[in-house]
Amino acid sequence: MRPLAAPARLRPCFGLDPPGCGISAVRMLAYTIQRVFQSAIVLLVVGLVAFSMFRFVGDPIDNMLGQERTMEDVERLRAQLGLDQNFFVQYYRFLEGAVQGNFGVSYRQGRPVAEILLERAPATLELAAVSGFLAIAFGIALGVFTAIRRNGFAAHAIMTVSLIGVSLPTFLIGILLIYLFSVELGWLPSFGRGEVVKIGNWSTGFLTASGLQALILPAITLGLYQMTLIMRLVRSEMLEVLRQDYIRFARARGLRERAVNFRHALRNTLVPVITVTGLQLGSIIAFAIITETVFQWPGVGLLFINAVQFVDIPVMAAYLMLISVMFVGINLIVDMLYFAIDPRLRADRTGAH
Amino acid sequence: MVDTPLPPDAPVAVKDPSRLSLALQSDFFYQFKRSPVAIASFVVTLVLVLGAVLAPLIAPFDPFDPASLNLMNGFSRPMTPNAFTGDSFWLGTDDQGRDVFSTILYGMRISLFVGAAAVLFAMVLGITLGLLAGYVGGWTETIIMRVADVQLTFPSILVAMLIFGIAKGITPVEYRDQVAIWVLIIAIGLSDWVQFARVVRGATLVEKNKEYVAAARLIGRSGPAIMVRHILPNVLSPVLVIATISLALAIIAEATLSFLGVGAPPTQPSLGTLIRIGQGFLFSGEWWILFFPAMTLLALALSVNLLGDWLRDALNPRLR
């Protein structure tokens, strides 16, 4: 059987194990511990970067106190922020604060960063969820279609368009959509979230007509790139699987074409697709920065880009911490899931071979 | 063919079967001639690069010279004489009467310069670290590759934004616009070195066990000399392919950053900055201020990208 098309770093082989090594329960546990440990180190390093930004890029005191200040004010704030202590104590305190969700006060807005982030998060999460869903649904559907009808005219057309789509910068796609649907046709709004409804702390745009309308263009813009990626991946995996003997055998048994394509072929392509899709989830949040700027979507990404423009270090540091926790977490989960999903790897574990 | 003896005073160059004719007979050139996509993208790239390099000669106006601007010429439509002054501009003018064609040529200069310099920076950094990691091994390798792994976890555009933000925080306000271009180059370069390092390290691991390296070591050449003079020339061909594809990505990254307002300043507008400016006029009907820079960026990115794809296939005989 074809070896799994996973990036090398996802393979659970370490030490002297040969490539394609099987996974015993003990090794699995050791691997899990190793990965968790690695993730923790990555987070500590990112924390150090974030802390150094806060501490050394510009003087926090200068940024927080205005022109009119006394030496007492400076000293008081210095002690209050703990800036008179040594580096490691400060770093420890920063981490302690970050774990408790305390990222300091925004230079620009004068409010706690955590509060601003919480306020902005629903917009980004809703946008990311919808575009992720679009990307997966259409990506898999089009991928299967282009694989099954790989010589058809429609499949060729889709592949060509997707090639252009990959080289088109995200912001140009956004502008193009705005031009078509907002300026020329006037069907959809070009900026903002529309009306939102507050449910507790969560503001949602799902419940109003204008909120849903405002969501359409940004969601397409954000999801398009991931969709082409998933589509191309599904297509190439499908083509690979369709060549296998068991597919020929399934056809020989007289199974209907649909059953062969979906029950046999598609299911066997899903492992790498899930891996890559999982890793792409993080990029959706990161690329949301661009989409949110084009559409003035009031989310975390727009907050971050404004923070970079105005050098609002606490916001930048908090965003960095937040997004790295997310990335590292997703990576860890995908690595772990990798064994859980694939029965071939499980079979190795129970000693079937 | 009969070998005729050359007259003693003939120039040395004639003795060679000429490098050009060798290149024209090569398999590489044959592949190039056979691929219409390669020829088309090469021509487009060449035209755009020439336009950028020769901008001061080609451009009908100098967009940075306030004396050449006439506010009355503002918002001229493409190819139509202006209602007030009667002046006509190929691609129209922006709100301040700047010729869009000229700003595109100058903008492309900045886009290409930043893209090329960033790739060069990433290449030098990546090759150095990759050679070190592959040849020296041990702790050096572990540290370099761990940093690479961590950086690869994050999308490179995010890394570039962070570096840009930090650098902006460090530079005093009055210098920010002056150093913005260089900061941009460093930010994009630093976000892109990992690819080069990984490929060079992989190739170095293979090369360092070959006999010529052992021979070089035996005659007593130093580590750096072996790395640079012996291993480096043998690992360059994959680097070339990555560099071409990276150039397309770097141009897009630069445009994206400038579009988001964290890149080239309005005093030195790149294509991304021009698109950012043009977006403001989308709703008022002056489409050309946005449209032409966007098309130029698209043509540039697409043609460099296709050229890189073709180069990858042409240099890898297994894919044919």
Q: What is the DSSP code string of A181-216?
A: IIIIS--S-SSS--S-EEETTEEESTTSHHHHHHHH
SS3 at position B69: coil
pLDDT of residue A349: 42
When comparing pLDDT for B66 and B207, which is higher? B207
Closest by CA position to B163, among listed B154, B139, B247? B154
Q: Which residues of A touch B154 (CB under 8 A)?
A: 286, 323-324, 327
Q: Which residues of B251-285 are buried (b: 16+ CB within 10 A; e: fewer)?
A: bbbbbbbbbbbbbbbeebbbbbbbbbbbbebbeee
- B166 touches A at CB < 8 Å: yes
**Token couple for A201:** 């702390």
pLDDT computed for residue A5 by the predictor: 41
> Do the Cβ atoms of A171 and B260 come within 8 Å?
yes
Interface confidence, given as ipTM, is: 0.76
Closest CA–CA distance from residue B121 to any residue of chain A (Å):
22
Looking at the predicted structure, is the pLDDT value of residue A352 above 50? Answer: no
**A29 three-class SS:** helix
Angle between helices B288-315 and B271-279 (to 10 degrees): 140
The per-residue pLDDT for B130 is 92
Q: Is the pLDDT of residue A138 over 80?
A: yes
Confidence of residue B114 (pLDDT cuts 50, 70, 90): very high
User: Are B111 and B270 spatial neighbours (Cβ–Cβ below 8 Å)?
Assistant: yes
pLDDT in tens, B280-289: 887 777 788 8
Q: Is A311 in Cβ contact with B155 (below 8 Å)? A: no
A chain contacts of residue B257, beta-carbon cutoff 8 Å: none
pLDDT at B120 over 90: yes
pLDDT value of residue A347: 46
Q: Can you tell me whether residue B171 is helix, strand or coil?
A: coil
Residue from A203, A195, A46, A177 nearest A124 by CA: A203
**pLDDT over 90 at B119, yes or no:** yes
**Does B310 score more than 80 pLDDT?**
yes
Interface residue A53 vs chain B (CB under 8 A): yes
Q: Is B294 on the interface with A (CB under 8 A)?
A: yes
Interface touch A175/B260, C-beta < 8 Å = no
Q: Does B294 contact A164 at a Cβ distance shorter than 8 Å?
A: no
Percent of chain A scored above 70 by pLDDT? 83
pLDDT band at B118 (very low <50, low <70, confident <90, very high): very high
Q: What local confidence, expressed as pLDDT, does residue A7 receive?
A: 43
Q: How confident is the model at residue A341 (pLDDT cuts 50, 70, 90)?
A: low
What's the predicted TM-score (pTM) here? 0.80
Angstrom distances, CA of residue A74 to CA of A171, B72, B233:
44, 53, 58
pLDDT recorded at residue B5:
53
Tell me the average pLDDT across B291-295.
88
Give the number of other Cβ atoms within 10 Å of residue A164's Cβ.
11
What proportion of chain B, given as a percentage, has pLDDT over 70? 86
Binning pLDDT at 50, 70 and 90, where does residue A348 land? very low
Residues of A in contact with B170 (CB under 8 A): 57-58
- Residue B314's pLDDT band, with cuts at 50, 70 and 90, is confident
Distance CA(B320)–CA(B306), nearest Å, equals: 16
Least confident of A172-181, B30-39, B73-82, B229-238: B73-82
How confident is the model over B224-243, as a mean pLDDT? Answer: 86
Separation between Cα atoms, residue B112 and residue B49, nearest integer Å: 8
Residue type, B134: G
Is the pLDDT at A22 greater than 60? The verdict is no
Angle at B294 between CA B288 and CA B295, to 5 degrees: 90
Lowest mean pLDDT among A318-332, B58-72, B167-181, B267-281: B58-72
Using the predicted structure, report yes or no on whether residue A16 has a pLDDT greater than 50: no
The reply to whether residue B161 touches residue A304, judged by beta carbons under 8 angstroms, is: yes
Strand ranges (E), chain A: 197-199, 202-204
Written as six digits, the tokens of A51 are 């802390």
The answer to whether the Cβ–Cβ distance between B150 and A58 falls below 8 Å is no
Q: Would you state the pLDDT for residue A15?
A: 44
Which residues does chain B have within 8 Å of residue A293's beta carbon, measured at their own beta carbons?
259-261
Q: What is the distance in angstroms between the Cα of B169 and the nearest Cα belonging to chain A?
A: 6
Q: Taking 60 as the threshold, does the pLDDT of residue B6 lie above it?
A: no
> Is the CB of B256 less than 8 angstroms away from the CB of A170?
yes
User: Rounded to whole angstroms, what are the CA distances from B149 to A331, B15, B189, B243?
Assistant: 12, 51, 16, 20
pLDDT (average), residues A50-72:
72
Query: Which residues of chain B have a CB within 8 Å of the CB of A178?
Result: 282
pLDDT surpassing 70 at residue A8: no
Confirm if B292 and B104 have CB atoms less than 8 A apart.
Answer: yes
Mean local confidence (pLDDT), A131-148? 88
pLDDT of residue A101: 77
> With 50 as the cut, is the pLDDT of residue A14 above it?
no
Tokens of B214: 């052992």
Closest chain B CA to residue A54: B166
By C-alpha distance, which of B101, B163, B95, B76 is closest to B293? B101
Residue ranges of A 210-229 with Cβ closer than 8 A to chain B: none
Residue B93 has pLDDT above 80, yes or no: no
Q: How far is A273 from chain B (nearest CA, A)?
A: 18
How many residues appear in chain A?
Answer: 353
Q: In chain A, which residues have their Cβ closer than 8 Å to the Cβ of B287? A: 179
Q: Are A212 and A205 in contact (CB under 8 A)?
A: yes
Largest CA distance in chain B: 80
Find the range with the poorest average confidence among A136-150, A217-231, B9-23, B247-261. B9-23
Q: What stretches of chain B show up as alpha helix (H) in DSSP?
A: 12-15, 19-25, 27-34, 36-53, 55-58, 100-136, 138-153, 156-170, 176-190, 193-207, 211-218, 223-225, 232-260, 271-279, 288-315
Where is A228: in which H helix or E strand?
helix A209-242
